[in-house]
Amino acid sequence: MSVHPGRCVPIETILLATCRFIAGGAFLLAAMMKLSDPPVFMLAIAAFGMLPEALIPFAAYAVPWIEVVAGVLLVYGFWSRPAGLVATGLYAVFTAALAWVFLSGASVDCGCFGGLFGRGDVGVTSLLRNAVFLTASIAVTWRGGGAASLDAVLAARRPAD
């Protein structure tokens, strides 16, 4: 499937592109903030109390770099399904961690987006936001990047076997 001028763009193309931009764009924004000051993100991870302290510094670099690589691939729509799978895994971990803290009733700073939107304890808003990102990632993993992705362009140019 490809996009032709003058024709209606299929709704699936629009939806998948939107999902890619939501999941990938959020990853890139969050990674930029986290990588700008890793020690602050280390404190945010420590606040959740889920990782041994020895692993926290590595996680503070690993998580945003996974977000960078998967985010770029999702936005361009290259290797959309593998990038979507990685994003699904990461968003699932984030959502589970937020749900764990929320259900425990603890007052913990979300640490989401490196504090870009100010300090905010884990709550329904952060859970719903992550649920949206998780849904978008699952959609891309399931259906691919859609006709408006680099994957589709490359597939169209590939000579038929």
Partner 1 sequence: MKSLLLRSLLIVAIALTAALADGALRGLRMPPKIQADKVPTLPVVQVRAGDTSPTAEPAGDGFTVEMLVALVESGTAILVDARSPAEHRAGRIPGSFQLEPGDVGAASARRDLVDFLAGTLAADPAMALVIYCGGGDCHASHDLGSQMIRYGFAEEQLFVFEGGYPAWVAAGHPIETGEPLF
Using CB under 8 A as the binding rule, whether residue 118 contacts partner 1 is answered as yes
DSSP secondary-structure letter at 115? Answer: G
Q: Which of the ranges 3-11, 29-37, 125-133, 147-155 carries the binding residues for partner 1, by CB under 8 A?
A: 29-37
User: At residue 108, what is the residue type?
Assistant: V
Asked if 72 contacts 32 with a C-beta cutoff of 8 angstroms, the reply is no
- The binder of partner 1 chosen from 9, 14, 96, 116 (CB under 8 A): 116
Tokens of 131: 């649920």
User: At residue 83, what is the residue type?
Assistant: A
Shortest gap between Cβ of 49 and partner 1 (angstroms)?
5
Q: Which of the ranges 7-15, 91-99, 105-113, 150-158 carries the binding residues for partner 1, by CB under 8 A?
A: 105-113
* Cα separations in angstroms, 91 against 25, 86, 98, 100, 151: 13, 9, 10, 14, 23
Using CB under 8 A as the binding rule, whether residue 49 contacts partner 1 is answered as yes
The binding track of 52-91 with respect to partner 1, each residue x by CB under 8 A or -, is -x--xxx--xx-xxx-xxx--x-----x-xxx-xx-----
Binding positions for partner 1, rule: CB under 8 A: 33-44, 46-47, 49, 53, 56-58, 61-62, 64-66, 68-70, 73, 79, 81-83, 85-86, 107, 109, 113-116, 118-119
